[in-house]
């Protein structure tokens, strides 16, 4: 029971983060952002870049700084995902700054 609740919380965190990033990049119209040559015909490259770089950076930096213990991989993934959420939102805001 507890495992399914934690897994659900992880999925909600990841889906919520991606939804906020999509909202910032494409829906909020802070800056006009066009989708150019999407991956697989429908996945925006900018979204993949922002989310991918943010997750890799969270994974790498949390490991290097010793903030996660990979002896318990599930806990490490959850902790990295929380850090990723803040990083992805910041990256999306930085990506749409006027003049960039």
Is there a domain that residue 29 lies in?
Answer: yes
Is there a domain that residue 82 lies in?
Answer: yes
* Nearest residue to 59 via CA among 40, 46, 78, 72: 78
* Nearest residue to 7 via CA among 76, 70, 78: 78
* Domains in the chain, number: 1
Share of the chain above pLDDT 70, in %: 87
pTM, full prediction: 0.81
Is there a domain that residue 75 lies in?
Answer: yes
Q: Which residue has the higher pLDDT, 31 or 13?
A: 13
Q: What residues make up the domain containing 75?
A: 2-95
Is there a domain that residue 100 lies in?
Answer: no
Q: Which residue has the higher pLDDT, 4 or 57?
A: 57
* Burial degree of 50 (CB within 10 A; 0-12, 13-18, 19+): buried
Q: Residue 30 has what pLDDT?
A: 62
Q: Which residue has the higher pLDDT, 39 or 56?
A: 56
Asked if 62 and 87 touch (Cβ cutoff 8 Å), the reply is: no
Is there a domain that residue 35 lies in?
Answer: yes
The pair of three-digit structure tokens given for residue 10, joined into one six-digit string: 């992880």
């Amino acid at each position: 029971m507890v495992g399914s609740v934690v897994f659900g919380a992880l999925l909600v965190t990841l889906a919520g983060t991606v939804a906020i990033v999509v909202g910032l990049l494409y829906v909020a119209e802070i800056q006009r952002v066009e989708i150019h040559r999407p991956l697989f015909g429908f996945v925006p490259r900018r979204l993949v870049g922002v989310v991918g770089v943010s997750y890799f950076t969270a994974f790498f930096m949390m490991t290097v700084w010793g903030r996660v213990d990979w002896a318990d991989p599930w806990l490490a993934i959850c902790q990295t995902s929380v850090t990723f959420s803040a990083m992805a939102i910041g990256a999306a805001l930085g990506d749409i700054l006027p003049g960039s």
